[in-house]
Structure 1
Amino acid sequence: STDAVQAALDGNAVALADFAMVANDLSEGRLIRPFELGIRVPPDFAYFLVYPIASANDPRIVAFRDWLLNEVHNPQPDTSLG
C-alpha cells in the first residue's frame, strides 16, 4: 500500500511493494532493494522488500529480511483448510 511505502520512506518501516509503485524511489535512491529477490505471484507480478539504505543494518530489519527469505525459500504447507 502507499501507506507502507511512505512509512519505509520515512524510515519507520520496511515494505513489500509492487515494483511499479516504488520504481521511482528506487531509481532516485530513496529506497533500496536489499537483495535481488522478487516474490513470485501470478505471471507479470512480483513483490520487493524495500527500505531506506540508512536502515540496512537495523537489527529489526535484518531479522525481518532473514525471516522473509527463509519463508520464501522454505514455504510451509497451509494446513488451515484441513
Structure 2
Amino acid sequence: MASRVSLKAGKGKVVRKSAAADEEEGSVAAAGKFVKEWSTWAMKKAKVVTHYGFIPLVIIIGMNSDPKPSLSQLLSPV
C-alpha cells in the first residue's frame, strides 16, 4: 500500500492565471535565465582576461612612460 502525497493549498487567495499570462511569464523567465547565464559566462571570461592581462598591461604602460625604462628596470623591485 503506497502512501499518497496530498498537496494542500497555502493560506491566502488562490489566483488563477490565463494561458496568455502563463505564456508571457514563461518567455520572461526564459529571457531572465538567458541573461543570467550570459552574464555568468561574461564574468568568468572577464576574470580570466583580467588575471592574465594585468601584469602585461602594467609593463606596457611602464614601457611607454616618459623616462623610458628598460624591461629589467621595470621588473626589478628596487
Same fold (TM over 0.5): no
Higher helix share: 2
Larger RCO, structure (CA 8 Å, separation 6 or more): 1
* Superposition TM-score tier, normalisation by shorter sequence: under 0.3
* TM-score, scaled to structure 2: 0.23
Larger CA Rg, structure 1 vs 2: 2
